[in-house]
Amino acid sequence: MTDAKRDTVPPIAAELSVHADEHAVPSEVVAEQGPPPADYAQRPASGVDVTPGEGLSAEQVVTMTGGDAEAADANVELQEAQGLDTGAHG
């Protein structure tokens, strides 16, 4: 660094540097699922049959989310055009 550049660089304040906190107590944070909503048992089922281990079809996703089937199909086509594995087989 040249003397001219050294004069334009702001000084570093040592009190602002990162220091290890020797008084910190290491702790592990564990995220857990909270309680279900109060009306959980009365809520209707989604109505979508899903076989365990299989992905959802575009129609099942639309049924669950209330979305537009054409938009879901367009998203699949876009992902396939981009070379992404959509899991859609049909």
Q: Is residue 75 part of a domain?
A: yes
Q: Is residue 25 part of a domain?
A: no
Q: Is residue 77 part of a domain?
A: yes
What is the C-alpha radius of gyration for the chain, rounded to an integer number of angstroms? 28
Tally of structural domains, the chain? 1
Taking residues 37-56, report their average pLDDT: 78
Q: Is residue 10 part of a domain?
A: no
Q: Residue 69 is part of which domain span?
A: 55-84
Q: Is residue 21 part of a domain?
A: no
* 87 three-class SS: coil
Please tell me the pTM assigned to this model: 0.25
Q: Is residue 16 part of a domain?
A: no
Percent of the chain past pLDDT 70, that is, above it, reads 64
Taking residues 77-88, report their average pLDDT: 78
Q: How far apart are CA 51 and CA 28, in angstroms?
A: 36
Q: Is residue 71 part of a domain?
A: yes
